[in-house]
Amino acid sequence: MSETTIQLPSGNTAVFRDPLSVTNGERKLAVKALGAKGLDEDDLEEQVSAIEKIIILMVKEWSFPFPVPTANSESLDAIPAIDHDKLVMCAMDRDLIPFLDTDINPDPKAPTGSSKSSNGASPEETLTSEMASRSSSAPTT
């Protein structure tokens, strides 16, 4: 993944951070902003406020003549409404913001009844094996 430059309707641009640079702590704040139970579909103000938190997190630079939202969140109120709408759409795009796709949707066709994974190992053994594999291949400093 990498940074993404968004062309806004006014001719300005906004650069979204590389989603791989988002820390787990930042993701927790973003998920919290969106609410564990989801947003109230009837409360547009709540929805926009939550999505603006994602915009503040993700827009690292832009061509407007005032600070980026990370430096001053009130800057979002100074941009053209049509540009704001485009940023909102981008902030909901799971291709640009994949770390917010936190739904756990198990495969309904997956077999059940056994706690063993397909290779016969328990979930704990599989996790331990994966962690050991990752730590042995991690770069050293």
**What integer is the mean pLDDT of 36-54?**
73
Per-residue pLDDT at 129: 46
Mean pLDDT of the chain: 76
| Residue-level pLDDT at 78 | 96
Contact between 60 and 70 under an 8 Å Cβ cutoff? The reply is yes
- At residue 124, the pLDDT reads 44
* pLDDT tens-digit readout, 79-133: 999 999 999 999 888 887 787 765 555 555 555 544 444 455 544 444 444 444 4
- Give 3-state DSSP helix, strand, coil % of the chain, rounded to 5: 45, 10, 45
